[in-house]
Amino acid sequence: MALHGGLLKVQTSGHAEIVDLTAGVRSVVSTSGADRGVATVFVRGSTAAVTTMEYEPGGIEDLRATLDRLVPVRPEGSSGDYAHNRLNHDSNAHAHLRAALVGPSEAIPVIDGDLTLGTWQQVVLIDFDDRPRERTVLVQVVW
């Protein structure tokens, strides 16, 4: 078994910004030399997530609207109903909850040296925090 890794650094504005990571992940897979294996994509931090989706304006808008319905953002300066905000004098409980629902990682099979994504499927980072951040995404290829 062999292992190859890479880091992707991404500047985000927060507030559910969705960033397409596919090209960066493909680059790490390509430099690994793996023909068949698995690529794992993982974001550090408890207020961001990694998933796959059709990365296009309608899909982005629909995902944001769905998350707004499931886990609403409370008004600025308000702790709302969130214990995290109340107990920590914070304002990003929604970000922690959304990230926990979506999850921090994806495992994608590698076949013939490439990610086995569908035609309209991209790997994306979603930053749910309420401020700009530099995110670190770890990519590991095992074969």
Which tens digit of pLDDT belongs to each residue from 93-110?
A: 999 999 999 999 999 999
- Residue pair 54/122 in contact (Cβ under 8 Å)? The answer is yes
CATH number at residue 22: 2.60.120.460
Residue 139 has pLDDT above 70, yes or no: yes
Residue 126 has pLDDT above 80, yes or no: yes
- pLDDT on residue 74: 75
Residue 5 CB partners (closer than 8 Å, separation 6+): 28, 138, 139, 140, 141
- pLDDT on residue 82: 92
User: Given pLDDT bands bounded at 50, 70 and 90, which one contains residue 75?
Assistant: low
Residue 40, beta-bridge partner list: 107, 140
- pLDDT on residue 49: 98
Q: What is the mean pLDDT of residues 60-72?
A: 96
Q: What does the alpha-carbon distance between residue 134 and residue 113 come to, in Å, rounded to a whole number?
A: 29
Q: How many domains does the chain have?
A: 1
Residue 60 has pLDDT above 70, yes or no: yes
pTM: 0.94
Which residue segment(s) compose the domain that 112 sits in?
Answer: 3-142
- pLDDT on residue 81: 81
Rounded to the nearest angstrom, the gap between the alpha carbon of residue 129 and the centroid of all alpha carbons in its chain is 12
